[in-house]
Amino acid sequence: MNIDKLLEELYSYSMFSIRLGLDNIKEICKYLNNPQNSYKVIHVTGTNGKGSTSTTIEKVLIEAGYNVGKYTSPHILEFNERIAFNDEYIANKDVAYYYGKVKKIIDEHKIPATFFEITTAMMFDYFRDKKADYVVLEAGMGGRYDATNICNSELTIITNVGLDHTEYLGDNIYKIAKEKAGIIKSAPYTIFADNNPDVEKAISEETKNYVNVLKKYEAAEYKLNFKTFMTNIKIENKEYEYSLFGDYQFKNFLCAYEALKYIGIAEEILKEAFKKVVWQCRFEVYSKNPLVIFDGAHNADGVNELCKIIGKNFAREDVGILVSILKDKEKKSMFEKLSSISSDITITSIPKNPRGCKAIELYSEVDEEIRENFSYEEDPILAYRKVLEKNKKITVCCGSFYILIKLKEGLNEKK
């Protein structure tokens, strides 16, 4: 079976949709002889910032000489991005091997596994065979009943808690924080970056060994350098250049910094490695001339943070935006926020995605008071070209990772 057909079959398990619970993954891993117990795990959850925090920790640990696995989701361009070892994506032949191994188990034992459960089992097994020292493990959704939550962690991180996936996790911050705090279990140390008292309450009910890095490092400072697109950080009388750019990245830096200090990484390694972190579609400078930013701001919190960055350095008339938002997101508030930093916003669609909307459907949801700032174009590549033709000082493509995927695929084909 070639890789495209294999992945098509693997994706077909998404038909089981999201199923929170650990029975399936426990059973699969039992037949794999519990590979998740073969390495030290740093478990990361949170509404936003999981990937940036995980990738920062991964980069520094690799620079320190460890063998490091990282598991993240969703992928941007290819499935293999989800499973990386020492900063290299899993090879197609290994995807085929570990999928075959897990598929045999679920078929023989009639386990109704989902796509995410199968992929998680593949990842656990792969990293055991690669002899990982550390695995940086990003939870898929929530925490307590997420398929990743069958391992014992050396360290747990909750980046922050916002109102997202409320239909699964709860309708207020405390309930959602309780679900995310479910990853803590017997972990000796927990790090978080959120000043909402309901978040601390939920964490404190799971463990007494925790730290809020926003309080611990309240004297730390940062500045966005719009020439280098680095976040310059001063903390504990030291200065760092952090290659992930943005106000929100400061909080992610603090989580990673505290984790790496806890592990005992040397200062000189921290200083060099923080400059080298790469995480695509997170305020990614896709093009410098013209200046085009790709950012996977996919919910209200993410859009708020993106708008903070843009509003700091660009006038409203200098910003062009291309956006598409999934059906289950807070579209009206996101459109309103984007309208505060740009008077020229083009809405497009996400083709062949059941969670996507047509551009005209999204346009109809824009409040009448701000609709004059919006236009729509169904074809994403055509929409991108039209936005660039307006010669704005900066063009921002955002709203969902899925639209960024379509743009990268389409634009790469046309290069």
- Give me the pLDDT at residue 167, please: 54
Helix orientation angle between 115-129 and 3-11, rounded to the nearest 10 degrees: 130
Residue 23's H or E segment, with its range, is: helix 23-31
Angstrom distance (rounded) from CA 70 to CA 60:
12
pLDDT value at residue 392: 97
With both helix axes pointing from N to C terminus, report the angle between 197-204 and 173-180 in degrees, rounded to the nearest 10: 40
pLDDT of residue 415: 42
Measuring CA to CA, how many Å separate 106 from each of 16, 32, 98, 146, 413? Answer: 14, 11, 12, 18, 37
**Residue of 146, 127, 22 lying closest to 73 (CA atoms):** 146
Contact 330, 47 (CB under 8 A): no
Helix (H) or strand (E) holding 63: helix 50-63
User: Within a 10 A sphere around the Cβ of 266, how many other Cβ atoms?
Assistant: 10
DSSP letters spanning 264-309: T--HHHHHHHGGG---TTSSEEEEETTEEEE----SHHHHHHHHHH
> Whole-prediction pTM value?
0.84
User: Bridge-partner residues for 43, per DSSP?
Assistant: 137, 156
CA dist 174 and 180 (Å) reads 10
Residue in this structure with the two tokens 């493509």, named with its chain if needed:
397
CATH, range 3-276: 3.40.1190.10
CA distances from 125 to 3, 8, 53, 182, 368 (A): 19, 21, 23, 23, 53
The one-letter amino acid code at 305 reads: E
Dist CA 332 CA 231 (whole Å): 30
- 284-414: in CATH 3.90.190.20: yes
Strand order in the sheet with 221-225: 221-225, 230-235, 238-242
**What is the structure's pLDDT at 254?**
98
pLDDT score for 355: 82
Domain ranges of the chain: 3-276, 284-414
Look at residue 326 in the predicted model and tell me its pLDDT: 86
pLDDT in the model for residue 319:
98
pLDDT in tens, the chain (415 residues): 788 899 989 988 875 555 667 999 999 999 999 999 999 999 999 988 899 999 999 999 999 999 999 999 888 878 999 999 999 999 999 999 999 999 999 999 999 999 999 999 999 999 999 999 999 999 987 788 899 999 999 999 999 987 665 555 656 889 889 989 999 999 999 999 999 999 999 999 999 999 999 999 999 999 999 988 999 999 999 999 999 998 889 999 999 999 999 999 999 999 999 999 988 888 999 998 999 999 988 788 889 989 999 998 999 999 999 999 988 788 899 999 999 999 999 999 988 888 888 999 999 999 999 999 999 999 999 999 999 999 999 999 998 888 998 898 888 754 4
